[in-house]
Structure 1
């Protein structure tokens, strides 16, 4: 019997996806991951290919989404409160790494290509899922 799969979540890194996959499997929900090895091989392509994707059977979709909603999907500050977008006040805020300036790129080239290490200097930013505003916390 062919089982229809539904994408329920995407994550920038496979480590994040593994944590949520484990939580779903603890609830006896079968989970499938896509693009995990591609992103583990080259983490910088994560945004380009849409991140690591989690899939579940269509019959388990509602239950899987309920389990994921119990966990805080969006970014929290150091006190555990939701971070608000400075533009629209939404709490649907994600945390991203990027390599979009010369300093980040040179750090990547130097560390990764010469030493085989993941870049030490990486820029981080928050992005609102509703209005797509990018910002940093003060």
Structure 2
């Protein structure tokens, strides 16, 4: 296989995800191309049948591209928006997860009345004891 042959570095369900991957690779100096984005935009139900939207790179850049695409930036995002990664429950010391309290009743009201009543709250819920903390 030639070094200039295009190989798949990643597959995505939606074109916007592939475009983000392409721009990330190009920011790192790797030439990348999005394949089948227009087809999936026209008929998005074909995405799984076609193998998704593919991001292709040259064979010589494949390992570096996969390493870049597999990098987890979650801690950077959490620190940027001010979420403490090690937040603990005030009652039991368990791990907190993002949770929206009252979402299910709000959805049922929307189905029954035909218009939304927004009475839900965003916050964190303890995985262990279920304690809700409003943000």
1:45 CA drift (Å): 0.8
Equivalent residue for 2:7? 6
Number of the residue aligned with 1:104: none
User: Under a length normalisation based on structure 2, what TM-score does the superposition of the two structures give?
Assistant: 0.50
Q: Shift in Å at residue 2 of structure 1?
A: 8.1
| Structure of larger gyration radius | 2
CA distance 1:70–1:51, change in 2 (3 Å):
same
Q: SS of the residue aligned with 1:15?
A: helix
User: Judging changes above 3 Å, is the alpha-carbon distance between structure 1 residues 51 and 63 closer, same or farther for their aligned structure 2 residues?
Assistant: same
What RMSD in Å do the two structures reach over aligned CA positions? 2.6
> Secondary structure of 1:16's match?
helix
How big is the shift at 1:18? Answer: 0.6
Retained in 1: the 8 A contact 2:3–2:60? no
Is 1:17 matched with 2:18?
Answer: yes
Residue deviations 1:32-83 (CA, integer Å, cap 9, x gap): 11111000111111111111001100111111111111136xxxxxx98xxx
* Whole-angstrom CA distance in 1 between matches of 2:18 and 2:65: 14
For residues 33 and 71 of structure 1, what CA distance do their matches in structure 2 show?
21
Aligned 1:13-92 pairs, distance under 5 A = 13-71=14-72
Structure 2, unaligned runs of 5 or more: 74-83, 86-135
